[in-house]
Amino acid sequence: MAQADIGLIGLGVMGSNLALNIAEKDHAIAVYNRTTSKTGIFFESAGELRERVLPCNSLEELVAAIRPPRPIILMVSAGPAVDEEIARLRKLLSENDIIIDAGNANFHDTVRRFHELEGSGLTFIGMGVSGGEEGARHGPSIMVGGTKQSYERVEGVLNDIAAKYEGEPCCAWLGTDGAGHFVKTIHNGIEYADMQMIAEIYGIFRDGLGMEAKEIAPVFAGWNRGRLNSYLIEITAEVLAADDPKTGQPMVDMILDSAGQKGTGRWSVIEAQQMGVPATAIEAAVAFRGLSAMKAEREAAEKAYGKLALEKRGTVSHDDLELALFAGKIGAYAQGFAVMTAASREFNWSLPMGTIAKIWRAGCIIRSQFLGRITDAFERADDLDNLFMAPSFVEMMKEAHPALRRIVAWAAAAGLPAPALSSALAYFDGYRQGRGTANLIQGQRDFFGAHGFERIDQAGESHGPWGSHG
């Protein structure tokens, strides 16, 4: 007899933890993994939660174990594996069953899968899940895309397993087809920018001020009690404070300076570019992950140009660094939300911006106090085009941008790279400049290609007096 409320396929780290979270919240769950030995190991590790876990050795068994209409979560590697599982499930499932892809899918794939299943009787949910292993086990932030009706059928269990912020579940339906995975992609783009900016400030401490990891750690720990309070600042302090058990050195000093990336940061930049929305701080963060991986080239270049000496460069105040990081962060979030605003129009999603900031307040990697201010800003004006224009953000930026300016200038003079911080500053300066310099670009375009321009005193296309040069 079918007993499970829900099913899950893929017992990797995220899948196993999500399954345990579901069982712990009193939902019976049927689980299946292609390598079936993993299923047994998972079941054994489930302890007293085993009474609500039904291990299955085949997809047929899994499907039979779930009460219809069956929600089935896929937690398999993003890409072809998802399509393969859908193809297998299609043969076994019946009317109104729901396939939920909870991996880090490219939202274009989610849109395609959603429409491929339309008319088959089955429905598809693309669900962004953030919070890593710990989040999956004890409460992630959950970003859902699909039909509202299919969401309503799984809302109960999702709310139960999601992180709670002051009692409110960090889970919401954000729109149809790819909306959930799109928002998760932008979450990750912002995550990249947040992490890069923190690393830039760390670089200023380490290479500009000559501080040891152990001395930097308490500074971040202190900042975590202020306006920068966030999970990423909290773990930065912990990473900097940890010792390497093998050598006794600070752990961070023993880690190779070459960062990995799985693709979601890059996707967020590609989408921003496709829509013509500037997301320069996120772009800089993605680009610098790329540069970090070019270790051998960077070492050769350091030989060619000489190592930057830690000279007497004057100093910068910790307060300025804190405020600069805050201003940079505002820039990155302004860009991330602007990309979502554009996507919402482009894909007809009506993304609820205030709700997105709300469900990021707990559970996810970029969780922070600051997100509450974004929610407030959108609740006051849901047609806000850019966070920079929310009255509360105007106040915050007026206070913080001079510090960002000082830190970026100091870093540039010291030869220390601060790509995300300086991109955020340039974006802010460009955004607030009523008359920019694109008039010259238009003149050049007209000169070499007769592309035409609009005059400031006349509508319609005009051309310059360059005559035969054009």
Instruction: Give the integer Cα–Cα distance in Å for 122 and 90.
Output: 8
Contact 194, 366 (CB under 8 A): yes
Q: Is 262 in the site for ligand 6PG (CB under 6 A)?
A: yes
Q: Which stretch binds ligand 6PG (CB under 6 A): 124-132, 150-158, 430-438, 460-468?
A: 124-132
Q: Which stretch binds ligand 6PG (CB under 6 A): 110-118, 128-136, 155-163, 340-348?
A: 128-136
Instruction: Give the integer Cα–Cα distance in Å for 108 and 40.
Output: 35
CB atoms within 10 A of CB 344: 19
Distance of CA 196 to the CA centre of its chain: 13
Min dist CB 132 to ligand 6PG, Å, is: 5
Contact 208, 414 (CB under 8 A): yes
- CB nearer ligand 6PG, residue 12 or residue 222: 12
Contact 393, 380 (CB under 8 A): no
- CB nearer ligand 6PG, residue 104 or residue 423: 104
Q: How many CA atoms lie within 13 A of 405 on its CB side?
A: 8
CB atoms within 10 A of CB 202: 20
Q: Is 110 in the site for ligand 6PG (CB under 6 A)?
A: no
List the one residue from 96, 261, 292, 386 that touches ligand 6PG (CB under 6 A): 261
Site for ligand 6PG in 302-341 (CB under 6 A): none
My answer on whether omega of the bond before 68 falls inside 30° of 0, hence cis, is no
Identify the CA nearest to 53 among candidates 21, 31, 75, 35. Answer: 31
- 334 by DSSP, 3-state: which? helix
Binding mask 38-77 for ligand 6PG (x = CB under 6 A): ----------------------------------------
List the one residue from 265, 278, 328, 331 that touches ligand 6PG (CB under 6 A): 265
Q: Which stretch binds ligand 6PG (CB under 6 A): 22-30, 257-265, 371-379, 450-458?
A: 257-265
Instruction: Give the integer Cα–Cα distance in Å for 469 and 295.
Output: 46
List the one residue from 16, 39, 264, 368 that touches ligand 6PG (CB under 6 A): 264
Q: Is 79 in the site for ligand 6PG (CB under 6 A)?
A: no
Which secondary-structure segment (H or E) carries 316? none
Catalytic residue check, 191: yes
Angle between helices 148-161 and 13-24 (to 10 degrees): 80
Min dist CB 311 to ligand 6PG, Å, is: 34
Q: Which stretch binds ligand 6PG (CB under 6 A): 85-93, 255-263, 425-433, 455-463?
A: 255-263
Token digits of residue 281: 């701080």
Site for ligand 6PG in 335-394 (CB under 6 A): 364-365
Instruction: Give the integer Cα–Cα distance in Å for 410 and 414.
Output: 6
Q: Which stretch binds ligand 6PG (CB under 6 A): 125-133, 155-163, 236-244, 383-391?
A: 125-133
- Which residue out of 38, 85, 191, 322 is catalytically annotated? 191
Identify the CA nearest to 101 among candidates 37, 152, 146. Answer: 146
Q: Is 268 in the site for ligand 6PG (CB under 6 A)?
A: no
Q: Is 17 in the site for ligand 6PG (CB under 6 A)?
A: no
List the one residue from 85, 101, 191, 322 that touches ligand 6PG (CB under 6 A): 191
Catalytic residue check, 24: no
Which residues, listed in sequence order, are joined to residue 144 by a DSSP beta bridge? 127, 173
- Interface residue list for ligand 6PG (CB under 6 A): 104, 130-132, 188, 191, 260-262, 264-265, 364-365
Q: What residues act catalytically? A: 184, 191
